[in-house]
Structure 1
Amino acid sequence: MAINFDPIFSGMQNGPEKIKGNFDKVNDGLGWGEPQNFLNMNGITSEFSQYKVRKDGNAVIVSLYVTGAAIDSSSSVACYLPTSISKRIGYSLSTQVIGRTDNNALGFMNIATQTGKCTFHKPDASGLYIQATIPLV
């Protein structure tokens, strides 16, 4: 069934633009909030270390670049997500996010969901890139 929109738009100045404007307002909930900086960053470059929460509250995207010598779980290199976000990441006590090093090896970031502390592990001294979308509950 085809709908004839001409009668709807005939008396309306900029009708299609107004409808698009209203559609954008409805879809605004699926966009991303403003970039936020991680808390208490130690050993992480500030140019590329942010997170964004989806406006509907169902996901967080993390983007960061970790530099330094080979990092393991005993390293002091860490950052923190606010606990208001980290406690909504899954049902377990920690979550692991995979990343890639400058030398094309795999590394990862562990997120302690109760404290928001993010620690890193990478097999070599190159930088580690993390970019991931994580669902929130």
Structure 2
Amino acid sequence: MTINFDPIFSGMQNGPDKINLNFNEVKTELERMNGDVVTIPKEQFTALNGTNLDPNIRNGCIFKFNNFAIVSFHMYVKVTMKGWTDREAVSIPKSYVNGYSKFEMFGDHRRYGFDNDGAQFEIDFHLDTGTLSIYTRDAEWDNKGAAINVSGILYN
């Protein structure tokens, strides 16, 4: 938060007006920080490349501020893939992330366990295409399910 205050001193001319201007600066900055919340309807998530996307377990929110946004996507997928395979699995309309040039995921890209077998997989969100990809690591997936949770920051 960057606010530039006018200095105020005892007995200055227009002191109350300067105090009011400083107050308005603080108010404006706090309003800017409130941001907007954009909810991505579950119908806007599209399964790609043979991915089965649970119709009821998919949602997303984007918390937009002036210079950045925080995103959170959640979904459950089932896929059949060979080991060490990377593919795009789910997309959202790119218009939700327009205006940003970089994405940094919170936490590790690697996820562990689904169907109680402890297999590892990696996920990534591709800002340029609005797609989420799955990388199967060494396990072959035969209609395996995975809960996908992606959170991160969009910025320029």
TM class by shorter-chain length? Answer: 0.5 to 0.7
**Structure 1 pair 78–89 and aligned structure 2 pair: CA distance change class (3 A):** farther
Q: Output the CA distance in 2 between the equivalents of 1:99 and 1:87.
A: 29
Cα shift readout 1:42-67 (whole Å, capped 9, x = no counterpart): 42212212211114352110111121
Q: Deviations over 1:87-136 (max 9, x none)?
A: 736269xxx84333313332122333211122212234331222131101
**CA shift in 2, pair 1:99/1:130, >3 Å:** farther
Residue 149 of structure 2 is matched in structure 1 by: 131
Q: What TM-score comes out, normalization by structure 1 length? A: 0.57
Aligned to 1:73: 86
CA RMSD of aligned residues (A): 3.5
When you count strand as a share of all residues, which structure comes out higher?
2
Secondary structure class of the residue paired with 1:114: coil
How many correspondences in the alignment?
A: 108
Moved over 6 A (4+): none
Percent of aligned pairs sharing the same letter: 12
Which residue in the other structure is 1:41 paired with?
47
Residue aligned with 1:69, SS:
strand
1:105 corresponds to: 119
Structure 1 stretches lacking a partner, 5+ long: 1-25
Q: Which runs of 5+ in 2 are unaligned?
A: 1-30
Say which is worse superposed, 112-121 or 60-69, in terms of deviation. Answer: 112-121
TM (normalized to structure 2)? 0.52
Cα distance between partner residues in 2 of 1:82 and 1:109: 18
